């Protein structure tokens, strides 16, 4: 027989279910072809709701949340564009936004996209697998439809993981370390590619004799000419280098004039994307520490399992007026879906980050404006076209493109 007390609890529970207040209604609504607007960030979901945590192989999106005892948010899940801030989000999309899956590529990481406007070509990299893969890729945007082909520089550069365009050259963060590849030894470092001659030059390959770990991503401060880069430890985890980390994870500023390398931060678990605000007063660095592994060589190359309670936040730092140092580290955005991988800033100051199955667009306070949703894990992205209003996205299993009104910064 039921005790009076538990009968009372059941009544109370039923009352609470009936009395759920403040539920976002509707949670989401159609805002255009393949555009879905989420109201008030879905701040109060009807019980019972649940979103499974992401894993290395399955990254959940907000649309995977089930609500009200199991209803799927089908329109949210399938939309190309998920708008959270209606006013600013629809402005970013403009009147005729489009998303197109353009190239099917391998499940390898695809990274370091750099647009060379004078050639109307987009260079990008493909990392392992297979181990030891040496060429890069290039998308020729002069062709209709665009073509994708392999590209080999002279000398070849192993595993660019980040890149930008500066002073007529592609600057790569090369993340591979190998005694014998492409006709010689290669160590993690900064390289420059002249896209007119296909010749490459090394800019930096050591820190007082030590190998860098991974040089993952980089950005040039156009005011000072310094190259800022992040140095997490992924190349060891993912078997892109033959030497276990000799340095802690850190972010650096390299002065090409003097050759000096300055550590700017060593507090981030795995520093990854790096980008400047348009006026170079702020630098953003993402922490992808929730994708990590042990550095002790006794575990071999451990891969990078995802840990949902690890670090996956974009931080902002103020840059001193002379462009030399940073201060005032603050958390800006915790990437919900996966880790904030590639990081770039639009001409208007909005911050874009790859976040598992898509790209999130944030304002400078870290407020999510909209998400571009993909069916593959996005590592990085770059703007192309005469007005820099086409965004190419790439990652594990796909290369796609977005046409919208959000222009990229002009890189000179």
Residue numbers of the site for ligand NAG (CB under 6 A)? 17, 46-47, 52, 55, 58, 68-69, 101, 104, 131-132, 151, 176, 178, 180-181, 197-198, 239-242, 307, 309-310, 375-376, 397-398
Shortest distance in whole angstroms from residue 402 CB to ligand NAG:
14
- Gap between the Cα atoms of 363 and 88, Å rounded: 9
Closest CA to 262 of 340, 172, 322, 314: 322
Q: Give me the residue whose beta carbon is nearest to ligand NAG.
A: 132
Contact 158, 182 (CB under 8 A): yes
**Among residues 101 and 262, whose Cβ is nearest to ligand NAG?**
101
Long-range Cβ contact pairs of 126-131 (< 8 A, separation 24 or more): 127/159, 127/161, 127/175, 127/238, 127/240, 128/159, 128/238, 128/239, 128/240, 131/239, 131/240
Shortest distance in whole angstroms from residue 375 CB to ligand NAG:
4
**Among residues 300 and 349, whose Cβ is nearest to ligand NAG?**
300
Give me 355's structure tokens.
Answer: 């976040």
**Among residues 178 and 313, whose Cβ is nearest to ligand NAG?**
178
- Gap between the Cα atoms of 231 and 284, Å rounded: 14
Shortest distance in whole angstroms from residue 222 CB to ligand NAG:
26
**Among residues 71 and 320, whose Cβ is nearest to ligand NAG?**
71
- Residues whose CB falls within 8 Å of the CB of residue 129, separated by 6 or more in sequence, listed in order: 106, 107, 108
Shortest distance in whole angstroms from residue 2 CB to ligand NAG:
18
Closest CA to 399 of 367, 371, 372, 374: 374
**Among residues 139 and 369, whose Cβ is nearest to ligand NAG?**
139
Closest CA to 181 of 155, 216, 211, 151: 155
**Among residues 43 and 348, whose Cβ is nearest to ligand NAG?**
43
- Gap between the Cα atoms of 185 and 163, Å rounded: 21
Token pair 């033959």 in the structure block, residue: 242
Shortest distance in whole angstroms from residue 379 CB to ligand NAG:
14
Shortest distance in whole angstroms from residue 136 CB to ligand NAG:
10
- Gap between the Cα atoms of 258 and 70, Å rounded: 61
Shortest distance in whole angstroms from residue 272 CB to ligand NAG:
17
**Among residues 185 and 387, whose Cβ is nearest to ligand NAG?**
185
Residues of the chain by 3-state class (helix, strand, coil), percent to 5: 10, 40, 50
Q: Is the dihedral of CA 228, 136, 117, 273 positive or negative?
A: negative
Shortest distance in whole angstroms from residue 149 CB to ligand NAG:
7
- Gap between the Cα atoms of 356 and 334, Å rounded: 13
Shortest distance in whole angstroms from residue 234 CB to ligand NAG:
13
**Among residues 69 and 95, whose Cβ is nearest to ligand NAG?**
69
**Among residues 239 and 363, whose Cβ is nearest to ligand NAG?**
239
3-state secondary structure of 175: coil
């Amino acid at each position: 027989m039921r005790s009076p007390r538990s009968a009372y609890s059941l009544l109370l529970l039923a009352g609470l279910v009936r009395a759920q207040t403040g539920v976002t209604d509707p949670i989401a609504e159609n805002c255009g072809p393949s555009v879905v607007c989420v109201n008030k960030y879905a701040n109060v979901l009807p019980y019972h709701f649940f979103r499974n945590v992401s894993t290395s192989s399955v990254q959940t999106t907000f649309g995977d949340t089930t609500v009200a005892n199991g209803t799927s948010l089908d329109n949210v899940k399938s939309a190309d564009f998920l708008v959270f801030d209606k006013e600013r989000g629809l402005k970013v999309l403009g009147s005729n936004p489009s998303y197109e899956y353009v190239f099917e590529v391998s499940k390898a990481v695809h990274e370091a996209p750099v647009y060379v406007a004078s050639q109307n070509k987009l260079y990008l990299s493909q990392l392992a697998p297979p181990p030891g893969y040496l060429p890069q890729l290039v998308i020729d945007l002069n062709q209709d439809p665009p073509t994708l082909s392999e590209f080999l520089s002279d000398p070849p550069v192993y595993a660019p993981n980040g890149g930008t365009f500066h002073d007529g050259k592609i600057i790569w963060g090369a993340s591979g370390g190998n005694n014998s590849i492409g006709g010689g030894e290669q160590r993690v470092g900064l390289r420059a590619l002249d896209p007119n001659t296909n010749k490459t030059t090394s800019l930096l390959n050591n820190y007082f004799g030590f190998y860098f770990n991974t040089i993952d991503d980089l950005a040039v401060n156009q005011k000072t000419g310094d190259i800022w880069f992040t140095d997490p430890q992924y190349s060891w985890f993912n078997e892109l280098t033959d030497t276990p980390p000799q340095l802690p994870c850190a972010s650096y500023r390299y002065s090409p004039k003097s050759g000096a390398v300055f550590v700017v931060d060593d507090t981030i678990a795995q520093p990854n994307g790096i980008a400047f605000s348009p006026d170079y007063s702020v630098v953003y660095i993402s922490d992808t520490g929730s994708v990590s592994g042990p550095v002790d060589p006794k575990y071999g190359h451990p891969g990078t399992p995802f840990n949902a309670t690890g670090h996956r936040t974009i931080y902002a730092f103020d840059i001193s007026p002379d462009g030399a140092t940073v201060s005032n580290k603050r958390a800006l955005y915790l990437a919900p879906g996966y880790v904030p991988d590639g990081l770039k800033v639009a001409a208007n100051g909005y911050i874009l980050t790859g976040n598992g199955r898509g790209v999130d667009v944030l304002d400078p306070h870290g407020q999510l404006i909209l998400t571009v949703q993909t069916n593959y894990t996005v590592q990085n992205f770059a703007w192309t076209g005469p007005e820099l209003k086409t965004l190419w996205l790439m990652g594990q299993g796909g290369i796609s493109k977005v046409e919208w009104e959000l222009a990229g910064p002009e890189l000179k």
